[in-house]
Amino acid sequence: MGKIRVKTLGVEELEEDQKKETKKRKEAKELKKTVKAPGLKGGERVVAVGPTEEELAKIEKIQKEAVNQLKESQEPKKKEKKNKPKPARIRSKSYQARVGFVDKTKKYALSEALSLLPKLKGARFDETVELHFTTTEPGVNAMVTLPYGTGKIVRVAIADEPLIKEIEKGKITFDVLLSTPAMMPQLAKVARVLGPRGLMPNPKNGTIATDPQKTALQFQKGQITLKTEAKFPLMHVVAGKLSFGDKKLLENIEAIFKALPASKIKKAILKSTM
């Protein structure tokens, strides 16, 4: 007899089932690689094209590293710019010659300081002579009439209704404003204009008076207010003009010193300015 092939019942059906299962798995894998596109009919698919999520993460990491390297390469350049030394300021020969007259480590007597001022003159016009005080505290103030004035024409005005209307329009044509006590409530309307300019009448600086006409003459003759800055113990005073000469300037400065309490003065600097 020839070879006999024994066929087990049900084996062929089992093989067919396995083939179908394998086919379904392949189709499922293919479906995972596809995405739905808007506008397609049911069951239609389009294959996804482009980098995977892992590839995108790698690209993002590379970009961050490149940005960090660029920042690191630029930082030293910025530091080099900051560390560059500033060029030395070049002064004129005339300035250097004037500076040579003054010993910065020395304290000068008033008469000696006044004799130096003409040698230090740098402008072609008549310079103003100033005193700059350092006081023990802010809030130091006084009134003084300079024997020879400040060398400046002082425009004095007395408050009245027409003048208040001019101030409301922003027109300021005076250096000192005087007022009677009765006029002060009306001046409150323009306090925002006068206050920042230091022109608001105040009993401390003698600009509120029962006889403003008489007070105006005193200001025109050389009466000035001595006061420190609002928050700092510093005081700046005009003592006259360089053309006054040593004698007149000396009398003006002595009057200023007499008006101020000696215990409140720590240091005084005399200078001429433009």
Predicted local confidence at residue 37, as pLDDT: 52
Q: How far apart are CA 19 and CA 17, in angstroms?
A: 5
Domain spans, the chain: 105-152+222-274, 155-220
Structure tokens at 186: 């009306």
CB neighbour list of residue 79: distance below 8 Å, 6 or more residues apart: none
- ∠ CA 157-163-169, nearest 5°, is 125
Residue carrying the six token digits 């069951």 = 43
Question: CATH classification of 105-152+222-274 is 3.40.47.10, yes or no?
Answer: no
End-to-end Cα spacing for the chain: 139
Q: Are 206 and 223 in contact (CB under 8 A)?
A: yes
Predicted local confidence at residue 253, as pLDDT: 92
Architecture of the CATH domain 155-220: 3-Layer(aba) Sandwich (3.40)
Q: Are 252 and 147 in contact (CB under 8 A)?
A: yes
Q: Strand 176-178 to strand 156-158: parallel, antiparallel, or no bridges (unpaired)?
A: parallel
List the one residue out of 165, 167, 166, 159 whose CA is nearest residue 184.
159
Predicted local confidence at residue 6, as pLDDT: 47
Q: Are 239 and 152 in contact (CB under 8 A)?
A: no
Helix (H/G/I), strand (E/B), else coil: 69: helix
pLDDT in tens, the chain (274 residues): 454 444 444 455 656 766 777 777 777 666 655 545 555 555 555 555 556 677 767 777 777 787 777 777 666 555 555 666 777 777 777 767 677 777 778 888 888 888 888 887 777 788 889 999 999 999 888 888 899 988 888 889 999 999 999 998 888 988 889 999 999 999 888 889 888 888 899 888 888 888 988 888 888 888 888 889 888 999 999 999 988 988 999 999 999 999 999 899 998 888 888 6
